[in-house]
A = this chain, B = another copy of it.
């Protein structure tokens, strides 16, 4: 198994974290994003979107961090990580959308502007990030894990990184005590690994 990776990418960290929780190893291949390696013909053949992460496994090339989590769960993990009944699957997928949209556009984008100096409206991204934090804090006041099961799922792994990195985008996480308790539960999972900034 090979992971085309970038250490500071929260989307890549999602995959590294899940692999660690599953006790699986992948060969990590650093993609030189600053040098534009993600736009090389070789990389675009792996992922036409020109984004990391990309997982290669058993002759398959899988891109999109949410899709990679789903693949690893279905292929290598206990069923609880991605329930396969219609309702359970839908509950997880609603959070995968949240990871791809709200979490990426809120805390994820605030971090890109503040930490990596990407042009754009930092204040607007921070406003979106505050709504993400408020929504999560309300939800986690009554739920142990995002998708409402008794065990963690790929929903937690997909949403956690950019929320936990919100400080990099200039956000103050301290008012969100239920979010903090959820962070602690994730960090207590056997095999947990962090990333720079966490």
**Minimum Cβ distance to chain B for residue A144 (Å):** 16
- B97 to A48, Cβ gap below 8 A? no
Nearest residue, chain B, Cβ from A44: B138
**Chain A 86-130 interface residues, beta-carbon cutoff 8 Å to B:** 86-87, 89-91, 93-94, 96-98, 100-102, 104-105, 121
B60, B75, B89, B96: the one within 8 Å of A71 (CB) = B89
Q: How far, in angstroms, from A100 to B100 measured CA to CA in the complex?
A: 6
Q: How far, in angstroms, from A136 to B101 measured CA to CA in the complex?
A: 19
Quick one: which of A64, A75, A84, A100 has the most chain B CB within 10 A?
A100
- B64 to A97, Cβ gap below 8 A? yes
Q: Is A153 an interface residue (CB 8 A)?
A: no
Q: Is A16 an interface residue (CB 8 A)?
A: no
- B94 to A97, Cβ gap below 8 A? no
- A89 to B74, Cβ gap below 8 A? yes
Residues of A within 8 A of B (CB): 48-49, 60, 62-68, 70-71, 74-75, 84-87, 89-91, 93-94, 96-98, 100-102, 104-105, 121, 135, 138-139
